[in-house]
Amino acid sequence: MYLCKLIMQKVVKIFTLTLSLVVAACNSVSFQSGEDDTSNIVAVVDDHTLLRSDIATIMPKELSEADSTTFVKMYIENWVLNQLKIGRAKEVLSSNQANIERLVEDYRQSLIIRQLDQYYIDNAIDLEITDKQLTTYYRANTAAFKLDHDKVRGVVVKVPSNFRNTTTLTTALKGVAKRGDVEEVRAICEKHNLQLTDLTPQWVSYSDFLSNLPTERSSSYTQLLNNSGVQKMTSGNNIFHFIIIDVARKGDVAPLECVKEDIRRRLYTERRANIVGKYEAELKREAIESGRMMLADTVLLKSMSYTPEIIEEPDTTYIEVQELIEEDIPSVEIDN
């Protein structure tokens, strides 16, 4: 009972201070250190003290008066509640105190190490990833980019059943397959107010392509992938003319265009790992050479003092890689 009464008294005192601080914020009073320590105090819980200067260091800049008031109020309330919870945890979890302190210390150390890693990464990382580097990685890791579903590129044009220029449209669609140019089809669609779905700029899943056609879920349309010419489907008073100009089947190596962003992430992750690995090896080597670190296991000591060579990306020209890919994987097109 005495403990609860003490906590309640402190809570009342704290929120009285909180209220006064919020009012001060509304009156645009800056959070600067007071003339003495007492005037700088905002809240007290047990032996923990929150100062005006503490809030000033974390308070976002350029907040409005209303936002500043809200931020200060929420920060103080959260701080008070956190301190009360920590105090209660020490009471009810006293048997686990050693384990808690170990977990806290482990977490503190992990945060420091993470910041140190990021320091080295920020000072050494090369954010530019060229087409040559993308293509080189793609060529060296094709097995990692197998498709788990069919992908296609193509065009769909929806026309009314009484459309009279079908021959002209069909010829233009065939031209898309030959030249990869959709402008002639686009001009026809604009002239006759037809609905055009251009899926040539990027690969899409076959299911997404079929969603633009009057298909049925229960039916299979795999056979359409074998036809490279202009095809059509009828639904009510509309006819859908379409052509599939490229197919990448399930189990094939994904086209480079489909995996560029994945490769960018992989290369960036590798660069981060290389930077961290290099500086870690240097830290160990320097510690051993200076006598700051000693190990009884001489084999382990030798391995720790060895700085591994960072493998540079192969100096293969983009044209050479492109020729290799076109020879080994003829269905994949590479951007120049």
- DSSP character string of 215-233: --TTS--GGGGG--SEEEE
Query: Are 209 and 142 in the same domain?
Result: no
> Are the C-beta atoms of 224 and 231 separated by less than 8 Å?
yes
Domain encompassing residue 261: 125-146+253-336
Query: Are 284 and 137 in the same domain?
Result: yes
Query: Are 243 and 187 in the same domain?
Result: yes
pLDDT of residue 326: 42
pLDDT of residue 291: 83
Query: Are 133 and 260 in the same domain?
Result: yes
Query: Are 272 and 303 in the same domain?
Result: yes
In a domain, 222, yes or no: yes
Choosing from 248, 269, 296, the residue where a domain stops is 248
pLDDT of residue 288: 82
pLDDT of residue 306: 67
Q: Which residues contact 199 (CB under 8 A, 6 or more apart)?
A: 152, 153, 154, 155, 156, 208, 209, 212
The residues facing 232 across adjacent strands are 241
pLDDT of residue 303: 76
pLDDT top residue among 162 and 324: 162
Closest Cα to residue 333, out of 320, 319, 322, 318? 322
Query: Are 141 and 154 in the same domain?
Result: no
pLDDT over 70 (residue 100): yes
Closest Cα to residue 166, out of 192, 128, 201? 192
> What is the residue-averaged pLDDT of the chain?
82
Q: Within the chain, what is the greatest distance between any pair of CA atoms? A: 94
Which two three-digit tokens encode residue 203? 């690969």
Choosing from 227, 248, 269, the residue where a domain stops is 248
The residues facing 41 across adjacent strands are 51
Residues 173, 181: Cα–Cα separation, whole Å: 9
Q: Please spell the DSSP secondary structure of 53-117, one letter per residue.
A: HHHHHHSPTT--HHHHHHHHHHHHHHHHHHHHHHHHHHHHTGGGHHHHHHHHHHHHHHHHHHHHH
Q: Domain count of the chain?
A: 3
In a domain, 260, yes or no: yes
The residue-averaged pLDDT of 113-117 equals: 95
CA-based R_g, the chain, Å = 33
Query: Are 8 and 74 in the same domain?
Result: yes
Which two three-digit tokens encode residue 13? 């005192």
